[in-house]
């Protein structure tokens, strides 16, 4: 066999380096400069920012586009996306990072196949997959091939949903098909000011509906955080958003077969939480900060909120309790008196299901007077949407603890993970009250005749309200009937919740055979 000369070997190595360098340049220095001028990082800088130093192993570097009539003259280094695997705080993840400098990060057939290759590897090996999205949507020049590429990705987003965590960071203008893949993942994080998500852009909208709208007002981070509920969190810039992706991973396991990682904490398990006495106003009409309640209870007072600006009448997010990741669902008495409406039901149901797929126990904090009454809510389908929440709680088999902080009335009491809907443990503070409705409303209905026929209706009304309050406006009736497991002191709350989740740590619960449930959508 002929020996290879050093010269030949060097030429081969030089060829590899030349090719790799070309791909690494993406769409070239000019377009990279534009990316920086817009305040964005490049696809490769984002990967470097996200992963542990030196951990990235790139795959499919030399992929070329699929060709076709309109692509003949076009060069697309790396096919417009950087893909591979690396680690975050030592945990393996798979990643793809769309390169806007190459044909606007548009998605062609082979570009899609680079992405599906890492999605398949992530699913086979049981690791999270993180998409860094910055794409102009379907690559127009490739026609049906690019649509097919999206199909391949959407299909995997669906079949791997609930198997491994899928996280999407939106870091540029994501248009058309580029938004539907993120929408099918578990979490969508956006960057303020430089990222947009829309199905059709401002120009198409103008030509069809004659509406004038800016990119920001149509699909910027603020819109998707506050109005549409599409985004779960937003960062001030790319680095901030990528940092949030890492924080999010702290609460998630590698896959659905594992439990989320326990995090060491110096916060004592039995830390006194008597500050709750100052935070929770016992008068049922006075709002207080449920976020402060949460922070008082949890490790290091840190609450990583999910969808903080959408449906603010309910709070969702992650915490650690004694090192154990826990998902929180809590009424927010500061906003719409914490009533449940359509958006709140959707927000909570989605979060409960996310926790359940990834074995994150759920803590529910209850202070709720009911579902929001009104024609608008009824006609927009509060029945259908509220049902999602009931369904999601009942369906979830993770450890579920409920803490009633104050009011728990009517249907909303049931919807907030009551005993009968599947709570494993129900605790109540002394300020709690479980009833069909508030004392005033109840007295007016139940004792209407007595009040009407009384020589002094107001005095009778006051007396009947007092009677009803004594009967129901406290935690003891529910505790006497076993709907509440224990009424606890404010100062013991943290210790007891940690103890409760520790009791439930090995919980196993099976369900009757089914292909899959049919949650109302
Ligand atoms: C191929 C594209 C492209 C596309 C942009 N480019 N969109 N190439 N296919 N869809 C190219 C541009 O020609 C340009 O190339 C480079 O990307 C950057 O684009 P610019 O327009 O200069 O950038 P910018 O001004 O920042 O605007 C970004 C943008 C805009 C808002 C995303 O490009 C845009 O509106 N593009 C079209 C979006 C769209 O309608 N996509 C198709 C959706 S339909 P050069 O060489 O100059 O750098 C779809 C169907 C799938 O996705 C549906 C599945 C459900």
In a 3-state reduction of DSSP, which class is residue 317?
strand
> Is residue 69 over pLDDT 80?
no
How high is the pLDDT of residue 70?
75
Let me know if residue 519 belongs to a domain.
no
For 167-211, how does the pLDDT look when each residue is reduced to its tens digit (9 = 90+)? 999 999 998 889 999 999 999 999 999 999 999 889 989 999 999
Domain boundary among 233, 249, 265: 249
In the three-class reduction of DSSP (H, G, I as helix; E, B as strand; rest coil), residue 5 is classed as coil
Residues 444 and 313 in one domain: no
Asked if 294 and 178 sit in the same domain, the reply is no
Q: What is the whole-number distance in angstroms between the Cα of residue 176 and the centre of ligand 1?
A: 9
> How far is the centre of ligand 1, averaged over its atoms, from the C-alpha of 267 (Å)?
50
411 has catalytic annotation: yes
Residue 520 lies in a domain: no
Q: What is the pLDDT of residues 150-171, one digit of tens each?
A: 999 999 999 999 999 999 999 9
Closest CA to 223 of 213, 237, 208: 213
Q: Are residues 420 and 463 in the same domain?
A: no
In a domain, 463, yes or no: yes
Residues 243, 282 share a domain: no
- Cα–Cα distance measured from residue 404 to residue 340, given in angstroms and rounded to the nearest whole number: 16
Measured distance between the N- and C-terminal CA atoms of the chain, rounded to whole angstroms? 67
Whether 3 has a pLDDT exceeding 80, the answer reads: no
Identify whether residues 404 and 338 lie together within a single domain: yes
CATH of the domain at 210: 3.90.226.10
220 with 342, same domain: the answer is no
Q: Once rounded to an integer, what is the mean pLDDT over residues 470-488?
A: 93
104 lines ligand 1 (CB under 6 A): yes
176 is catalytic: yes
Domain boundary among 231, 249, 267: 249
Has residue 509 been placed in a domain? no
Q: Is 108 in the pocket of ligand 1 (CB under 6 A)?
A: no
Over residues 317-346, the mean pLDDT reads: 96
| Residues 432 and 459 grouped into a single domain | no
Q: Which residue has the higher pLDDT, 283 or 49?
A: 49
> For the segment 287-331, what is each residue's pLDDT rounded down to a tens digit?
999 999 999 999 999 999 999 999 999 999 999 999 999 999 999
199-244 pLDDT tens trace: 988 998 999 999 999 999 999 999 999 999 999 999 999 999 999 9
Quote the pLDDT of residue 2.
64
**Looking at ligand 1, which atom is closest to the CA of residue 204?**
40
Q: Would strands 81-88 and 57-59 be described as parallel, antiparallel, or unpaired?
A: antiparallel
Note the pLDDT tens digit of each residue in 95-120: 999 999 999 999 999 999 999 999 99
Dist CA 97 CA 82 (whole Å): 5
Higher pLDDT, 46 or 411: 46
SS3 of 338-379: HCECHHHHHHHHHHHHHHHHCCCCEEEEEEECCECCCHHHHH
What is the pLDDT, as a whole number, of residue 1?
58
The percentage of the chain sitting over the pLDDT mark of 90, rounded to a whole number, equals 85
Task: Look up the domain containing 341 and give its range.
Answer: 276-438+474-503
Helical residues (DSSP H) of 51-103, grouped into ranges: none
Exposed/middle/buried for residue 332 (C-beta within 10 Å: 0-12, 13-18, 19+)? buried
Q: Are residues 165 and 22 in the same domain?
A: yes
pLDDT tens sequence across 19-28 = 999 999 999 9
Q: How many domains does the chain have?
A: 3
Q: Are residues 96 and 128 in the same domain?
A: yes
Q: How close is the Cα of 225 to the center of ligand 1, in Å?
A: 24
Question: Where do the DSSP E strands lie in 228-385?
Answer: 233-235, 304-306, 314-321, 324-331, 362-368
Task: Decide if 353 is inside a domain.
Answer: yes
> pLDDT (tens digit, 9 = 90+) per residue, 449-460?
988 998 999 999
| End residue of a domain, out of 201, 231, 249 | 249
How far, in whole angstroms, is CA 147 from its chain's centroid?
A: 27
- 391, 520 Cβ separation under 8 angstroms: yes
pLDDT digits (tens, 9 = 90+) for 481-513: 999 999 999 999 999 999 999 999 999 999 999
By the 8 A CB rule, do 88 and 249 touch?
yes
> Do 19 and 129 fall into the same domain?
yes
Is the per-residue pLDDT at 518 higher than 90?
yes
Please check whether residues 456 and 415 belong to one and the same domain.
no
423 C-beta closer than 6 A to ligand 1 = no
Q: What is the mean pLDDT of the chain?
A: 95
Q: Who contacts 518 (Cβ-Cβ below 8 Å, separation ≥6)? A: none
- Residue 72: which residues within 8 A CB-CB, separation 6 or more? none
Residues 313 and 403 in one domain: yes
- Interface TM-score (ipTM) > 0.95: yes
**Choice among 143, 193, 323, 411 that is catalytic:** 411
How far is the centre of ligand 1, averaged over its atoms, from the C-alpha of 154 (Å)? 20
Digit-coded pLDDT (tens) for 408-425: 998 899 999 999 999 999
């Amino acid at each position: 066999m002929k020996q290879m000369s050093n010269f030949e070997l060097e030429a081969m190595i030089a060829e590899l380096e030349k090719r790799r360098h070309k791909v690494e340049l993406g769409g070239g220095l000019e377009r990279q400069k534009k990316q920086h001028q817009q305040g964005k990082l490049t696809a490769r800088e984002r990967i470097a920012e996200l992963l542990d130093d030196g951990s990235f192993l790139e795959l499919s570097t030399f992929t070329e586009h699929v060709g076709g009539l309109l692509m003949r003259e076009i060069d697309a280094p790396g096919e417009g996306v950087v893909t591979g695997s690396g680690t975050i705080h030592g945990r393996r993840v798979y990643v793809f990072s769309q390169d806007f400098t190459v044909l606007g990060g548009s998605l062609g057939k082979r570009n899609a196949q680079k992405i599906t290759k890492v999605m398949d590897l992530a699913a086979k090996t049981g690791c999270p997959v993180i998409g860094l999205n910055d794409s102009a949507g379907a690559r127009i020049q490739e026609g049906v091939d690019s649509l097919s590429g999206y199909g391949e990705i959407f299909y995997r987003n669906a079949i791997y949903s609930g198997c491994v965590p899928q996280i999407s960071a939106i870091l540029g203008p994501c248009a058309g098909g580029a938004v539907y893949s993120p929408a099918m993942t578990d979490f969508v994080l956006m960057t303020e000011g430089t990222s947009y998500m829309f199905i059709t852009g401002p120009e198409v909208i103008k030509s069809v509906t004659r509406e004038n709208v800016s990119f920001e007002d149509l699909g910027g981070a603020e819109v998707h955080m506050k109005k549409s509920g599409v985004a779960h969190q937003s960062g001030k810039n790319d680095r901030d958003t990528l940092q949030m992706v890492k924080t999010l991973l702290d609460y998630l396991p590698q896959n659905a077969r594992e439990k989320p990682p326990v995090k060491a904490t110096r916060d004592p398990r039995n830390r006194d939480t008597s500050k709750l006495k100052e935070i929770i106003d016992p008068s049922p009409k006075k709002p207080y900060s449920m976020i402060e309640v949460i922070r008082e209870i949890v490790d290091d007072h840190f609450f990583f909120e999910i969808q903080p600006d959408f449906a603010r009448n309910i709070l969702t997010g992650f915490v650690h309790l004694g090192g154990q990741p826990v998902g929180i669902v809590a009424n927010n008495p500061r906003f719409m008196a914490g009533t449940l409406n359509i958006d709140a039901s959707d927000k909570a149901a989605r979060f409960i299901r996310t926790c359940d797929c990834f074995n994150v126990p759920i803590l529910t904090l209850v202070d709720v007077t009911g579902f929001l009454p009104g024609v608008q809510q009824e006609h927009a389908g509060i029945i259908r949407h509220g049902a999602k929440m009931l369904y999601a709680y009942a369906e979830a088999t993770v450890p579920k603890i409920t803490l009633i902080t104050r009011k728990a009335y009517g249907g909303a009491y049931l919807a907030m993970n009551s005993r009968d809907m599947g709570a494993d443990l129900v605790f109540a503070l002394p300020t709690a009250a479980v009833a069909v409705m508030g004392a005033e409303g109840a007295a007016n209905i139940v004792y209407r005749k007595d009040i009407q026929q009384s020589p002094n209706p107001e005095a009778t009304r006051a007396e009947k309200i007092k009677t009803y309050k004594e009967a129901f406006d406290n935690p003891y009736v529910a505790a006497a009937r076993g709907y509440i497991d224990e009424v606890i002191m404010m100062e013991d709350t943290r210790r007891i919740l940690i103890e409760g989740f520790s009791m439930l740590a090995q919980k196993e619960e099976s369900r009757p055979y089914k292909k899959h449930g049919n949650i109302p959508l």
